[in-house]
Amino acid sequence: MYIYLRKLFAMLATVFLVSMITFITFEIIPGDPVLARLGVDADEAQIRALSEELGLDEPLYKRFFGWITGLFTGDLGQSIRYSRPVSELIFDRLPVTLSLALISMVLIVIIGVPLGILSARYGDRLPGISISIVSQIGMAVPSFWTGIILMYIFGLTLRWVSPGGYTPWSVDPVEAFKSLLLPAVAIALPSIATVIRYTRNTVMEQMKNDYVRLAFSKGLKMNAVLFRHVLKNALIPVITVLGMITANILGGSIVIEQVFTLPGVGRLLINAISVRDLPLVQGMVLYISLVIVVTNFLIDIVYTLIDPRIKLR
Amino acid sequence: MERIISDRALLQVRDLNISFTTAKGDFPAVRGISFDVGRNSIVGLVGESGCGKSVTALAIMRLLPGNARLSGTIDFSGRNIVAMHEEEIRKLRGSEISMIFQEPLTSLNPLWKVGRQIDENLKMHTELKGDDRFQSVVDIMRDVGLPDPERLYHKYPHELSGGMRQRIAIAIAVACRPALIIADEPTTALDVTIQAQILQLLKDINREKGSSIIFISHNFGIIREICTSICVMYAGHLVEIAPTEKLFCEPRHPYTIGLMKAIPKTDSKGKELYDIPGKVPSITDTLPGCPFEPRCEYAFERCKRELPQFEVLGEQHESRCFLAGELR
């Protein structure tokens, strides 16, 4: 129990520090939310009035502590640009990002891990080499390009799916899935390539171990050795990478959401930064840092489930 | 040259050559060795590291990497292991021939409970199911001297001591009552007191279950303790074979004599330790003559040109030296 409390404290401290750094950064970088909203030819009185209304005339520390105390009541503040509560804006966008993340993670795991094992098994033979080459290409091609090509082929030419835009799940689940599939594939492809290479390397590394020789000396077949003995041992580094990928995708796929005009958190973040919508940026950063610390915490727990030698510290 | 061949041997290795094909060429690791393992016997393979003893063991299990080339025959109760199909040898592994490795911590799967690792053997090679199989695992664990096996069954390797882990590895090896167990330096990684216990356990298994054992070691003391006969290997060659006591009393190969001299003795305290001058030839060197010639204090002209054949010196005692009959 004590360990969990300590973990929780460390997580909160991380989020707090990240928030503080964001606050300070926005104080330093050029750009003014008031001007962004009123336009360059606004007069002095208008500017002063809006600054006061938004509380921007107060000193930095006061604003920061105001924001922190607001957090305890679940109040993330008002967005300057949208004039709506920040939490509402983020929650509106979450279903898109969560669905994208879920679909792409499923693709990454069910394609990346088995192909990685196959590639390790047939390392120097044709299947191994071809998987290696394809995954190398997959890592090199940027996802926005894959996205555009996918959209061109399946959206514009074959018209299997709509070339962009989003239908909510509540309206039409089939259409929703169709609108998310291509972007999910575009997000997944480079990560699939990464996971293949990781899995391949760790499996090949594990194959050199004595316990593999013992497994063979028991009379096990190659597949039994690979899937029963090696896979679990090779999983730890793969899980680490999967965790990083998950956190990344949940943080919003800025480029892909832009390419497919999806209303996800990535696009919200871009908008917020471009108009210096500090409360919204602050809220987004809070969301992203929470995603990362929570994912890491879950990964730590998964480690202990896989490997009895690892204890939560 | 007529070799001593006992028709009833469990394992007959004949003219076994093992080489490894690499980008830089073919490297011979074992050159034309022949020996027998009789039923109920414990045969020692001794030699310095790199002499080919572990490679020989892995060849018997057919567990060598893909770039290994084998020739000769390994006859195991009438079947030639060298020519077997993969499927055929796979069925022998773990059931009729099994292996114990040097380092019990790394040779057990760290993420599996130890009981399950023993259970896997029974699952593979027997019809036992459910509770019966669990009971068999527990019985095997008790047989190899593990206390409270029902509880230990659920432990992971890292939760056990080195000696207990090696007992688990032995339990895995003996689970299906194999005719032959290959033990590759099974005590090297253990404390001396544990070493003695493990040696005793292997002797008991040999006596009570009738499994023959090939015992690989570089330690003459341990080999003498446990083996019925000994094969001395040097640079991929077999240089001398003899029953244990014979070898220790009357070694007839200069290399064996050197190894004997190199064993520290209690009465030599304070004196300088003996070691054989020179070093083991590299796997890449191919000498036309005797491989030990450059280091041999008895060497003469002929040794450089010609590889000596085995000379039969007595019952089951052979030495591959021109001077075998004269050395004392």
Rounded to an integer, what distance in angstroms lies between the CA atom of residue B87 and that of residue A219?
9
Residue A25 lies in a domain: no
Residue B200 lies in a domain: no
pLDDT tens column, A70-124: 888 888 888 888 889 999 999 998 989 999 999 999 999 999 999 999 899 887 7
Instruction: Output the pLDDT for position B2.
Output: 40
Residue A304's closest chain B neighbor by CA? B111
Residue A37 lies in a domain: no
The answer to whether A290 and A122 have CB atoms below 8 angstroms apart is no
Q: Identify all chain A residues contacting B112, using CB atoms and an 8 Å cutoff.
A: 229
The pTM is what? Answer: 0.83
Minimal C-alpha gap between A166 and chain B (Å): 45
Residue A36 lies in a domain: no
Instruction: Give B77's DSSP letter.
Output: T
CATH number, domain at A181? Answer: 1.10.3720.10
Look up residue B135 and give its amino acid: Q
Binding-site residues on chain A for chain B (CB distance < 8 A): 209-211, 213-221, 229, 232-233, 306-309
Instruction: Give B93's DSSP letter.
Output: B
Residue B295 lies in a domain: yes
Residue B171: its H or E element = helix B162-174
Q: Of residues A311 and A198, which shows the higher confidence score?
A: A198
Could you say which of B90, B101, B111 has the minimum Cβ distance to residue A214?
A: B101
Per-residue pLDDT of chain B (328 residues; tens, 9 = 90+): 344 444 568 999 999 999 999 888 888 899 999 999 999 999 999 988 888 999 999 999 999 988 899 999 999 998 999 999 999 999 999 999 999 998 888 899 999 999 999 999 999 999 988 999 999 999 999 999 999 999 999 999 999 998 999 999 999 999 999 999 999 999 888 888 889 999 999 999 999 999 999 999 988 888 998 999 999 999 999 999 999 999 999 899 999 998 888 877 766 666 777 778 777 777 677 778 888 988 888 888 888 888 888 888 888 899 999 988 887 6
Report the residue of A124, A208, A213, A217 to disrupt the B interface, i.e. the one with the largest count of B CBs within 10 Å: A217
Q: Identify all chain A residues contacting B61, using CB atoms and an 8 Å cutoff.
A: 216-217
Name the domain count of chain B: 1
Half-sphere exposure at residue A175, Cβ-oriented, CA atoms within 13 angstroms? 11
Q: Residue A211 and residue B93: Cβ atoms within 8 Å?
A: no
Report the residue of B22, B102, B107, B158 to disrupt the A interface, i.e. the one with the largest count of A CBs within 10 Å: B107
- A236: domain range? 89-274
Residue B245 lies in a domain: no
Q: Residue A308 and residue B99: Cβ atoms within 8 Å?
A: no
DSSP B296-307: -TT--HHHHH-P
Q: Of residues A163 and A107, which shows the higher confidence score?
A: A107
Instruction: Output the pLDDT for position B34.
Output: 93
Residue B297 lies in a domain: yes
Residue A9 lies in a domain: no
Instruction: Output the pLDDT for position B7.
Output: 54
Name the domain count of chain A: 1
- B273: domain range? 253-328
Residue B192 lies in a domain: no
Instruction: Output the pLDDT for position B167.
Output: 92
Minimal C-alpha gap between A306 and chain B (Å): 7
Residue B35 β-bridge partners: B13
Residue B296 lies in a domain: yes
Minimal C-alpha gap between A6 and chain B (Å): 27
Q: What is the ipTM of this complex?
A: 0.89
Instruction: Output the pLDDT for position B268.
Output: 64
Residue by residue, what is the 3-state secondary structure of chain A? CHHHHHHHHHHHHHHHHHHHHHHHHHHHCCCCHHHHHHCCCCCHHHHHHHHHHHCCCCCHHHHHHHHHHHHHCCCCCECCCCCCEHHHHHHHHHHHHHHHHHHHHHHHHHHHHHHHHHHHHCCCCHHHHHHHHHHHHHHHCCHHHHHHHHHHHHHHHCCCCCCCCCCCCCCCHHHHHHHHHHHHHHHHHHHHHHHHHHHHHHHHHHHCCHHHHHHHHCCCCHHHHHHHHHHHHHHHHHHHHHHHHHHHHHCCCHHHHHHCCCCCHHHHHHHHHHCCCHHHHHHHHHHHHHHHHHHHHHHHHHHHHHCCCCCCC
